[in-house]
Structure 1
């Protein structure tokens, strides 16, 4: 298996309390679910894998590019949906999608994504004026712009209505045929329904 996402010996501690301890992963194309209870380090791991947080020790590669030594090339192959979005509040949904498209060298507006998540009426609203569910849909839609080799998603289904959740499930099924999708959740039922390869939190050397 060719690894789309790889990390080696990741260690992170907060106030001398270990959160990640010697975590190593090698994941190829497919749908992988990081499963575990809230507060056990899933979000920390995804932040490190996405480059939004630095590990105390260890390395990450995205599509063969070292995230620390070659960050621009690595991030071109990466899409990340955080649990809480660090988006400039004055940005509109259209601005967010244009920024993600620019980073991945792709068209900014994908009509099927806008229609599927019902985002048309919200594209030109400020991000801080949107509901939690609509913000989540914007982030998810932005992640599917372009052909990122690796998609990292932290509890992405939170706040989605039933129709959007069904559309999102279909997107995951389609994209995981050609990309490496790593989705964290405490909802094992969702992962099983999607046919994900489940990675248990406690198996990764998390403290």
Structure 2
């Protein structure tokens, strides 16, 4: 879908969610424009939960979410194809080889970029690990697989929880460069969740929890 670069990618209106009273979020509203934005908060503030809600992986108690006019509550599957998110702790793909997982993404994301994936694999130094099943990878290598998937997915909205966690220094530098490029993207949005703003990245918006 071609979008006006001046229009926000994600609209969040009146979001309410909680496991008990008072709710974690109540009436939370914001827009996310193209480029790189940040959800910032301390431990327990709800950063990871908010990403789950925005991904459509957790149902909100109230409110609306829309990506380029596609509303989650009206067109759930279409919405999910517009956003990339994965729980960094997931074991759902453990039996797959890393390459098998990455190759499967083209079936879920219409704008998946195989050429970009090859460059990302090289940039993150994943080549020696592609044939290994996910459960055999270190925490850092697993995160590199998720990051490769995130940037190759081609989705209008990409959600990344603690992007620099468990990465080695070369991968941190490579990721920082990717985010610096993403900061000027005219149509895709990346929403990071972390304790503080990433150094050297021009953020379009910060949502503080």
The two structures have a TM-score, normalised by structure 2, of 0.88
1:80 to 85, 90, 96: 85
Residue 200 of structure 1, CA deviation: 4.2
Q: 1:28 to 1:107 in 2, by over 3 A?
A: closer
Judge conservation of contact 2:11–2:31 (CA < 8 Å) in 1.
yes
Judge conservation of contact 2:139–2:166 (CA < 8 Å) in 1.
yes
Judge conservation of contact 1:35–1:198 (CA < 8 Å) in 2.
no
Residue 45 of structure 1, CA deviation: 0.7
Residue 28 of structure 1, CA deviation: 1.4
1:35 to 37, 40, 55: 40
Residue 121 of structure 1, CA deviation: 1.0
Residue deviations 1:133-182, cap 9 Å, x none? 00000000001114211111111210011110111111122233131111
* Superposition map of 1:35-184 within 5 A: 35-105=40-110, 106-108=112-114, 110-176=117-183, 177-178=185-186, 179-184=188-193
How many residues are paired up?
200
Judge conservation of contact 2:9–2:34 (CA < 8 Å) in 1.
yes
Cα distance in structure 2, aligned partners of 1:39 and 1:166: 28
The Cα RMSD (Å) is 1.7
Cα distance in structure 1, aligned partners of 2:80 and 2:207: 26
Residue deviations 1:34-59, cap 9 Å, x none? 11111101111110000110101111
The two structures have a TM-score, normalised by structure 1, of 0.89
Structure 1: segments with no counterpart, 5+ residues: 203-207
Cα distance in structure 2, aligned partners of 1:157 and 1:27: 21
Secondary structure at the counterpart of residue 152 of structure 2: coil
Matched, 1:6 2:11: yes
